[in-house]
Amino acid sequence: MDLFEYQGKQYFSRFGIPVSPGGVAETVDEAVAQAEAAGYPVVVKAQVQVGGRGKAGGIKLANDSDEVRLHAGNILGMDIKGHLVERVWVERASDIDEEYYASFTLDRAAKQHLLMLSAQGGVEIEEVAAKDPDAIVRLHIDPVDGLSRDTARQAAVDARIPERAVDGVADILVKLYRCFVDGDCDLAEINPLILKPDGEVHALDAKVSLDGNAAFRHPEWEEYDKTEVLDDRERLAKEHDLQYIGLDGSVGIIANGAGLAMSTLDVVNQVGGNAANFLDIGGGANADVMAAALTVINHDENVRSIFVNIFGGITRGEEVAKGVVEGLRRVELRAPIVIRLDGTNAEEGRQIILDAGIPASKLISKPTMLEAAREAVRIANGGEGGA
Amino acid sequence: MAIFVDENTKVVVQGLTGGQGKFHGLRNRDYGTKVVAGVTPGKGGQDVDGIPVFDTVAEAVAETGATAAFVAVPPKAAPAAILEAGSAGIGFIVCITEGIPAQDEARVYNTLVRDFPATRLLGPNCPGIISPGKCNIGITPSDIAQLPTPEGPNVGIVSRSGTLTYQALYELKQNGIGVSTCVGIGGDPVPGTSFVDCLAEFQKDSETHAMILFGEIGGSAEEEAAEFITATVTKPMSAYIAGVTAPPGRKMGHAGAIVSGGKGTAQGKMDALAAAGVHVGLNPTEAGDLMAGLLKDR
| CATH numeric code, B10-122 | 3.40.50.720
CB contact (8 A) between residue A106 and residue B285: no
pLDDT at B298: 67
Residue A228 among the catalytic residues? no
For the segment B45-54, the average pLDDT, to the nearest whole number, is: 97
Q: Round to whole Å and give the CA distance between A328 and A338.
A: 12
Of A55 and A171, which is predicted with more confidence? Answer: A171
pLDDT at A241: 83
* B262 has a pLDDT exceeding 90: no
Here the ipTM equals 0.92
Shortest Cα–Cα distance, A65 to chain B (Å): 38
pLDDT at A50: 87
CB contact (8 A) between residue B283 and residue A270: yes
Q: Round to whole Å and give the CA distance between B47 and B26.
A: 12
Of A386 and B37, which is predicted with more confidence? Answer: B37
| CATH numeric code, B141-296 | 3.40.50.261
> What is the number of other CB atoms lying within 10 angstroms of the CB of residue A272?
12
Q: What are the catalytic residues of B?
A: 254
Same fold, B10-122 and B141-296: yes
pLDDT averaged over chain B?
95
* A385 has a pLDDT exceeding 60: no
pLDDT band of A384, cuts 50, 70, 90:
low
pLDDT at B124: 96
**B65-68 contacts: CB < 8 A, separation 24 or more?**
B65/B10, B65/B36, B66/B10, B66/B11, B66/B12, B66/B36, B66/B37, B66/B90, B67/B8, B67/B9, B67/B10, B67/B11, B67/B91, B67/B92, B68/B5, B68/B9, B68/B10, B68/B11, B68/B12, B68/B92, B68/B93, B68/B94, B68/B137
pLDDT at A387: 43
* Closest CB from A108, A143, A216 relative to B76: A216
Shortest Cα–Cα distance, A246 to chain B (Å): 10
For the segment B87-97, the average pLDDT, to the nearest whole number, is: 97
**pLDDT per residue over A305-320, tens digit each?**
999 998 877 677 888 8
> What is Dmax (Cα atoms) for chain B?
57
pLDDT at A318: 82
pLDDT at A285: 65
Domain ranges of chain A: 21-92, 98-223, 232-380
CB contact (8 A) between residue B253 and residue A280: yes
When computed from its CA atoms, the radius of gyration of chain B, rounded to whole angstroms, is 18
CB contact (8 A) between residue B163 and residue A257: yes
- Angular region, B99: left φ>0, alpha ψ -120 to 50, beta rest: left
For the segment A367-378, the average pLDDT, to the nearest whole number, is: 94
CA A114 to chain centre: 21
**pLDDT per residue over B132-183, tens digit each?**
999 999 999 898 899 999 998 999 999 999 889 998 998 899 889 999 999 9
pLDDT at A386: 47
pLDDT at A283: 65
Q: Round to whole Å and give the CA distance between A304 and A331.
A: 16
| CATH numeric code, A21-92 | 3.30.1490.20
The top-scoring range by mean pLDDT among A321-325, A380-384, B269-273 is B269-273
Q: Which of A88, A91, A25 is nearest to A58 (CA)?
A: A88
- Residues of A whose CB is below 8 A from B126: none
- Residue in chain B closest to A280 (alpha carbons) equals B253
One-letter amino acid of B155? V
* Closest CB from B166, B246, B247 relative to A313: B166
Shortest Cα–Cα distance, A185 to chain B (Å): 8
In words, the CATH class of domain A98-223 is alpha beta
Instruction: Report whether A185 contacts A104 (CB < 8 A).
Output: yes
For the segment B6-20, the average pLDDT, to the nearest whole number, is: 96
For the segment B282-291, the average pLDDT, to the nearest whole number, is: 92
pLDDT band of A334, cuts 50, 70, 90:
confident
Q: Round to whole Å and give the CA distance between A312 and A87.
A: 46
For the segment A225-250, the average pLDDT, to the nearest whole number, is: 89
Domain ranges of chain B: 10-122, 141-296
Q: Round to whole Å and give the CA distance between B256 and A189.
A: 20
Give domain A232-380's CATH number out of 3.40.50.261, 3.40.50.880, 3.40.50.800, 3.40.800.10.
3.40.50.261
Of A368 and A114, which is predicted with more confidence? Answer: A114
The DSSP secondary structure of B148-182, one letter per residue, reads P-SS--EEEEEESSHHHHHHHHHHHHHTT-EEEEE
